[in-house]
Structure 1
Amino acid sequence: MVGMHTGHDMSGHGGHDMAGMHTGHDMSGHGGHDMAGMHGGHAHHVAQFRRLFWIMLVIAVPVVAFSPMFASLIGYSLPHDGPVTWISPVLGTVMFVWGGRPFLTGAWQEIRARAPGMMLLIGLAITVAFVASWGASLGLLDHELDFWWELALLVVIMLLGHWIEMRAIMQSSSALDSLASLLPDTAERVEGDRIVEVAPDALRVGDVVVVRPGATVPADGRIVDGRADLDESIVTGESVPVERGVGDRVVAGTVATDSGLRVEVTATGDDTALAGIRRLVAEAQSSPSRAQRLADTAAGWLFWFALGSAVVTAIVWSLVGQPDDAVVRTITVLVIACPHALGLAIPLVVSIATERAARGGVLVTDRLALERMRDVDAVLMDKTGTLTRGEPAVIEVATVDGQDRDRVLAIAAAAEQDSEHPLARAIVRAAQEHELEVPASSGFTSSPAEGVRATVDGHTVAVGGPALLATAGASELPVADEWRPTGAIILHVLEDGRPVGALRLADEIRPESREAVDALHALGLQVVMITGDAQAVADAVAEQLGIDRVFAGVRPEDKSAKVTQLQQEGRVVAMVGDGVNDAPALATADVGIAIGAGSDVAIASAGVVLASSDPRSVLSVVELSRATYRKMTQNLWWAAGYNLLSVPLAAGVLAPIGFVLPMSVGAILMSLSTVVVALNAQLLRRLDLSPAASVKRILGR
């Protein structure tokens, strides 16, 4: 709406330039990572660990059953010689080589990279158990060191843990594949008088496709025929269908719920909004994270803690004259200290968070931005296109004495209905919203200086600005003096040369904006508005919305300076803009949030992109950031705290009072911690991130 009230030529409405009011951003050029390969990798790992787990579980049964140590624990006897004594060693070796291979390979990679972590600890534990068990089986070591059954349990439990981990990670990536699966298998393309079924991949820009009731839109496009309620939840996160008609854009993957459409294709394949969303989420899931780096550092420290504890355990138990117990305790320490849960704690939370966000219409392109959002205390919102729709709307109708408001609006719409001008469309739309019967018109003419003229019900109706009144020798309505300070566009309606009414048009405030501002206040955040409009216009909007602070008359290139000003005041700033001239400010802010719909969703300078134009979606980002941080903290405390407490128990610090933690129990407890971390992260899936749900949680509405 920049220039809406600045006095530039408006081509047909004398005095107001609406050009460039709301330009979009094409997402097709946005770089990203191919998620197909990434997800394929997860699927491969899931299948690998699932297959290995079941095979090893079957092999583990005889290994455990024919283990002398297990038999003595349960209370049954086994032959002391013969082929039976070799069942556990032989099958145990198979388990170590085959079932343990993923861990041994991972351990070797960590050694080569000089980055000790969880795989090295697992590899070390099963290797020590394997060597000790063969020593016992061959009579070289005490028979108490027969750990075949513990080795079998360890391999099986570790495989189960990794299977759970990989499956959880794959499920969190599944939103991306569900995006792809939203596209229909076939599309109906219009070819002359025929309708031909083709694959969506075969569609080209300019093709016209038929979308039947209940069918899915196969590619981004523009409606050329028909009107339907479209389920756009995959793009906006909102489940309420939105009415779309001729000229409106539609996005691949959305569903025509009630009637059919004809759509001209404007983007296909990688250029569609759906493909762009997949790229954005893929980038988010591969972007670095401070919390992840913290977890990696913790895993490295835990390795040295475990290794040091194992060495001390071995020395102490050997010094007290129990070398066999020293081996048992050392192995148990190495098993307990495995940072499996720690390695899962952060990536799983962030992965689920980005997936939940994508389903709620919040696309996280930078994980650091998501983490930073919880610290934000000032939200700077661009007025045009963010708090307002970025397009004119009829706000008020005034009439001269004796004239009916509905009739004035109806005849104005009749005169304007052949015009493609933004103001003309706003007038026609207002008449439709008021369900007025718009009469037919003829003889339509348009003058860049004056406005439009047409014959309506035998009368000459003209709609225009000051030049129109001057030509007709008429005066403007007194109400114009009240409207002008707010920066409104004022058009007069003349019938047979006499003024019958006036229309006040302005950039329409989004109905959701007030709720968004109220909820941000409830969260303890300051709301600041920035706009290139005059102070009077900005103040009028700020007063309606309850905004704390206003920066008005700001040129696009100066917006980033205002962000810096707030930061210098000690505030952590989130900048929300629709991307039009907002890129520098979005990049300067602590968190840049781009608000835009459909295919306009890729704005490189923003860390978070809102797929819908609903400003309440900002609340979802704040809530998601805070919830994600809580889960990360809980998981880190559980994973690291569990290890720090259990390692001393495994080392035998309570042995003097008769408590020694068995190795098998240690392995089970360690895997249990992994399951707890995974389940805790899964609780994030219960968070409904739709704008309406966020408002309800915060304001109770």
Structure 2
Amino acid sequence: MKNKNASLFQKELVNEAFAQSFVKLNPKVLIHNPVMFVVEVCTIVMLIVTIYSLTNSSQGSFSYNLIVFIILLLTLLFANFAEAIAEARGKAQADSLRKTREETPAKVFVDGVVTMKSSSSLKKGDIFLCETGDIIPTDGEIIEGIATVDESAITGESAPVIREAGGDKSSVTGGTKILSDKIKVIVTTQPGESFLDKMIALVEGANRQKTPNEIALTILLAGFTLVFIIVCITLKPFADYAHTTISIAALISLFVCLIPTTIGGLLSAIGIAGMDRALQANVIAKSGKAVETAGDVDVLLLDKTGTITIGNRRATNFYPIDGIDHISFLEKVVLGSFADETPEGKSIIELATKEGVRGVRISGARLIKFTAETRTSGVDLPSGQRIRKGAFDAIKKITVNAGNIFPVETEIKVNSISSNGGTPLVVAENEKVIGVIELQDIIKPGIRERFERLRKMGVKTVMVTGDNPLTAKYIAEKSGVDDFIAEAKPEDKLEYIRKEQQSGKLVAMMGDGTN
């Protein structure tokens, strides 16, 4: 989300809030803010006085009364504008998500023929097709095929997952992306019940509600207002006794200046300022109360992938086996990665280019795209070379089946990469291993400094991940969190939260997915 989109003061929002500022002049709305309700009563009185002064100057000149009336009206509109722009923000965010849902195309089977439809028109029981590069339009179950799916948008995990018909790995979620192969999916949710619909409901629930501090301050301001009403009323008898004339405009001006009008009008703006700062940091605050509560957090639990780490694994190192020239290995790695359209595949080519590989061509070659079944990708060159790149066990199987020996040094390097929190990819040429690529889910720049700032604020940071203890320990040490929970299941997270709460701590959970 870019700052331009995150701003509360977009032209569309301002226009809508400006219109609502007049709608909110309804006394039934303003009665919820006693201070501004009293100001509105004064504004109505000044309107009457201003009209009266056109024919009678006993209450001052028309221009003087008109200026007082305009100032009071602008004060009301400002207070209403502060409330209205927050409401417009929530509506705009929900509309944006709804537009995304409506614009996602779906390849639906109608009488055996594939027809393009909007995802918003899908209903339970419809069957649609998804191919490489497609965004899954809605939630469903795979009834045919197998595919690799990028679910990072909803789970925060950068590693693609395999989804196939049958078994317990057949469900897919709207908003995720097919990375390879194709599947047929049957819609399993009714309109309005999908994951994206639930997200829309969450954003629409982010209304501007008064915080406990606002409510307490409103009561206090109402008390002050009552006191100053009494003070201003008593001025009239004193003025009559002293044979001094005080116009209605002067009394109202004095009264509005005495009562905490500014604070009453800015109460909502103060809440919005906190929500606006959170929004600029890509955080949707469900209410002003949530912003206030965030300031009292003692323990912060963080998901690893996409929160502490970038979220897309990237190539960090190349390890050719003994006897293989480094540049020659990089060239073959690049050749084997042209068919890999995943972010990991693109990062491999980028890193090899930085290390000096230039002018690699694949003219006349047959690209072998990655599939969930083979778990490898590569290229068959016109010269007869066969280059494959993929998971350790997949390449080992290819090598052994061809009658070749899988090098011990490669297996040691694979284990070493895994123990350091990385993902190893093995490269083979003509069914013989030639080296290993190391992928790492890179820790976000500056994250250690941010955790240090939180530590100084008295906030304890805890990383929660499903990774094995070795990987979790490595990431925890590199990122600088205070503690970590490895191989964490949902019940483990809940147990930790309850334990901290029982010791009197306020716990917050942060993550970029539904987990």
> How does the TM-score come out when normalised to structure 2?
0.60
The separation in 2 between residues aligned to 1:41 and 1:391, in whole angstroms, is: 39
What aligned pairs does 1:161-180 form with structure 2 within 5 A after superposition?
A: 161-166=75-80
* Structure 1 match to 2:102: none
Q: Give, in angstroms, the shift of residue 382 of structure 1.
A: 0.5
1:475 equivalent to 2:400? Answer no
The separation in 1 between residues aligned to 2:318 and 2:453, in whole angstroms, is: 32
Q: Give, in angstroms, the shift of residue 490 of structure 1.
A: 3.1
- The residue type paired with residue 70 of structure 2 is V
Contact 1:492 1:503 in 2 (8 A): yes
- The residue type paired with residue 120 of structure 1 is V
Pair 434,512 (structure 1): closer, same or farther in 2 beyond 3 Å: farther
Pair 579,178 (structure 1): closer, same or farther in 2 beyond 3 Å: closer
1:455 equivalent to 2:390? Answer no
* Structure 1 match to 2:225: 303
What aligned pairs does 1:313-392 form with structure 2 within 5 A after superposition?
A: 317=238, 321-322=241-242, 334-355=255-276, 357-358=278-279, 361-392=282-313
Pair 430,516 (structure 1): closer, same or farther in 2 beyond 3 Å: farther
- The residue type paired with residue 266 of structure 2 is A
Aligned length, in residue pairs: 405
* Structure 1 match to 2:101: none
Contact 2:43 2:69 in 1 (8 A): no
**Matched residue of 2:295: which SS?**
helix
Q: Which has the higher helix share?
A: 1
**Matched residue of 2:441: which SS?**
strand
Contact 2:324 2:434 in 1 (8 A): yes
What aligned pairs does 1:430-445 form with structure 2 within 5 A after superposition?
A: 430-435=348-353, 436=357, 437=360, 439=362, 441-442=365-366, 444=368
Q: Larger relative contact order (C-alpha < 8 A, sep ≥ 6)?
A: 1
What aligned pairs does 1:104-143 form with structure 2 within 5 A after superposition?
A: 106=27, 110=31, 116-120=34-38, 123=41, 127=45
Q: Give, in angstroms, the shift of residue 541 of structure 1.
A: 0.7
Question: Deviation per CA, 1:72-93, whole angstroms, max 9, x where unpaired?
Answer: xxxxxxxxxxxxxxxxxxxxxx
Pair 223,497 (structure 1): closer, same or farther in 2 beyond 3 Å: closer
Contact 1:397 1:502 in 2 (8 A): yes
Pair 322,331 (structure 1): closer, same or farther in 2 beyond 3 Å: farther
Kindly name which structure, 1 or 2, has the bigger radius of gyration based on alpha carbons.
Answer: 1
For structure 1, the residue ranges without an aligned partner over 5 or more in a row are 1-34, 50-101, 182-202, 207-221, 225-250, 252-269, 582-701
The separation in 2 between residues aligned to 1:450 and 1:130, in whole angstroms, is: 80
- Determine which of 449, 456, 465 is the counterpart of 2:392: 465
* Structure 2 match to 1:3: none
Pair 123,431 (structure 1): closer, same or farther in 2 beyond 3 Å: closer
For structure 2, the residue ranges without an aligned partner over 5 or more in a row are 1-9, 97-116, 121-131, 135-174, 176-191
Q: Give, in angstroms, the shift of residue 537 of structure 1.
A: 0.4
The separation in 2 between residues aligned to 1:447 and 1:165, in whole angstroms, is: 58
Contact 1:431 1:438 in 2 (8 A): no
Contact 1:490 1:505 in 2 (8 A): yes
1:156 equivalent to 2:67? Answer no
Q: Give, in angstroms, the shift of residue 327 of structure 1.
A: 9.4
**Matched residue of 1:532: which SS?**
coil
* Structure 2 match to 1:558: 492
- Taking only aligned residues, the RMSD between alpha carbons, in angstroms, comes to 5.4
* Structure 2 match to 1:266: none
Q: Give, in angstroms, the shift of residue 538 of structure 1.
A: 0.7
Contact 2:337 2:348 in 1 (8 A): no
* Structure 2 match to 1:697: none
What aligned pairs does 1:122-271 form with structure 2 within 5 A after superposition?
A: 123=41, 127=45, 146=59, 152-166=66-80, 204=118
**Matched residue of 2:69: which SS?**
helix
Pair 366,474 (structure 1): closer, same or farther in 2 beyond 3 Å: same
> How does the TM-score come out when normalised to structure 1?
0.46
Pair 562,331 (structure 1): closer, same or farther in 2 beyond 3 Å: same
* Structure 2 match to 1:408: 329
The separation in 1 between residues aligned to 2:297 and 2:30, in whole angstroms, is: 40
Contact 1:121 1:303 in 2 (8 A): no
Question: Deviation per CA, 1:408-466, whole angstroms, max 9, x where unpaired?
Answer: 2442443354467x6xx624531234324365643849794785675345333344424
**Matched residue of 1:509: which SS?**
coil
Pair 579,482 (structure 1): closer, same or farther in 2 beyond 3 Å: closer
- The residue type paired with residue 387 of structure 2 is V
**Matched residue of 1:571: which SS?**
coil
- The residue type paired with residue 380 of structure 2 is T
The separation in 2 between residues aligned to 1:534 and 1:157, in whole angstroms, is: 65
* Structure 2 match to 1:573: 507
Pair 157,517 (structure 1): closer, same or farther in 2 beyond 3 Å: same
